[in-house]
Amino acid sequence: RQELYRELRTKPSKSKDGVHVDLLINAGLMVDLPQLAEAGAGGIGLFRTELQFMVASTFPRAEAQEGLYRDVLDAAQGKPVTFRTIDIGGDKVLPYFKNTAHEENPALGWRAIRLTLDRPGLLRSQVRALLKAAGGRELKLMLPMVTELAEIAQAREIIDREVRHLSRFAHLLPTSLKVGAMVEVPSLLWQLDELMKSVDFVSVGSNDLFQFVMATDRGNTQLSDRFDPLSVPFLRVLKHIADAGRRNHTPVTLCGELAGKPISAMALIGLGYRSISMSPAAIGPVKAMLTELPVNEIKAFLEDNLGGPRVDLPMRGLLQTFADDR
């Protein structure tokens, strides 16, 4: 298998019937970067910037942030990188930055974009570091845990202000700046068209989206086998997002754990996803699946099953059988 994955590294990322799918990696620290070439991935679909904050003993200084982002872009050698603004709070606590309020439900609490909009200095300095590091190159910025569109507008104001500030001081700006949102809070599912008109791209955070749609703590092992992301209702949710992306001509990626398992990656591709981001070790197995996959067949298979009257179909088993029969 390892042999096969190595061979696939330089092969095009295409299905059996010639459909291109971007296979990207999730990363968060410089140590992850060599994996980009080793795995033969198309880029970094999710760079978790909070990792630098989590391994530090105090807030990383602006220069340290800029340095990391520059190193990441250098190491990516022109492959696209999507930087997510810090997603702290919830399960990601910083020892030097305590939320003084008691939170009964931290996953639903003061975290990610909620926190950075309340502490705009944090977002401002991070955005400035990113803009400077990406001077003369492309920059993709992604906002985590967006719940309503006003948060995007507020973040954009901060971003625009930093752009104006840097251009006033004659800094080299990014050649293009794209701003995207994570789709991981269910409220966005009923405003996808409006969302997609207000961002350049979206990325589904299936870990959190599943947690919130199923009201199931993603870290609770007692519940880990209880509900299935490959169930009809959740697959319908994922299809709803892919369809909205197509309708609005908005690029859609999925960057949760789902993307890294061949069987679920197969389902995602069948639902219309053409870009998925996963842990580097998953690229080989997922690419092996992709090269054998007739996309038209999996698409028709999913349309038949998800559009029918039965919401209790054992989709995981059916998908496995589909894969085994090819």
208 binds Mg ion (CB under 5 A): yes
CB nearer Mg ion, residue 40 or residue 205: 205
The beta-strand segments (E) located in the chain are 22-27, 44-48, 81-84, 138-143, 176-183, 201-204, 252-254, 275-278
Q: Which stretch binds ligand PEP (CB under 6 A): 11-19, 201-209, 282-290, 293-301?
A: 201-209
Nearer to ligand PEP, 122 or 185 (CB): 185
Closer residue to Mg ion, CB minimum distance, 112 or 306: 112
What DSSP assignment string belongs to 262-318? HHHHHHHHHHT--EEEE-GGGHHHHHHHHHT--HHHHHHHHHHHHSSS-S---HHHH
Tell me the two tokens of residue 177.
Answer: 């700046």
Asked if 44 and 80 touch (Cβ cutoff 8 Å), the reply is yes
Span 164-193, contacts to Mg ion by CB under 5 A? 184
Residue 5: what are its φ and ψ, rounded to 5°? -60, -40
257 binds Mg ion (CB under 5 A): no
Beta partners for 182?
203
Q: What is the 8-class DSSP label of residue 238?
A: H
Give the residue with the Cβ less far from Mg ion, 162 or 208. 208
Nearer to ligand PEP, 206 or 231 (CB): 206
Residue type, 88: I
Assess contact for 35 and 41: CB atoms under 8 A.
yes
Give the total of residues touching Mg ion (CB under 5 A). 3
241 binds, among ligand PEP, Mg ion, none (CB under 5 to 8 A by kind): none
- The Cα 191–Cα 321 span in angstroms is 35
Q: Which of residues 37-96 bind ligand PEP (CB under 6 A)?
A: 46, 48, 87
In the list Mg ion, ligand PEP, none, the entry touching 40 (Cβ below 5 to 8 angstroms by class) is none
28, 180, 205, 229: which one binds Mg ion (CB under 5 A): 205
Give the count of beta carbons closer than 10 Å to the beta carbon of residue 169.
7
Return the structure tokens found at 135.
Answer: 């001077």
Nearer to Mg ion, 205 or 270 (CB): 205
Whole-angstrom Cα distance, residue 326 to residue 323?
A: 6
Q: Count of alpha carbons within 13 Å of 7, Cβ hemisphere only?
A: 6
- Cβ proximity to Mg ion, 205 vs 284, nearer residue: 205
Q: How far apart are alpha carbons 258 and 277 in whole angstroms?
A: 9
Rounded to a whole number of angstroms, the minimum distance from the CB of residue 46 to Mg ion is 9
Count of positions on this chain that bind ligand PEP (CB under 6 A): 10
By CB under 6 A, tell whether 256 contacts ligand PEP. Answer: yes
Stretch 154-193: interaction string toward ligand PEP, x if CB under 6 A:
------------------------------x---------
By the rule CB under 5 A, 50 interacts with Mg ion: no
Which entry of Mg ion, ligand PEP, none binds 256, CB below 5 to 8 A by partner kind? ligand PEP
Q: Which residues bind Mg ion (CB under 5 A)?
A: 184, 205, 208
List of residues contacting ligand PEP (CB under 6 A): 46, 48, 87, 184, 205-208, 255-256
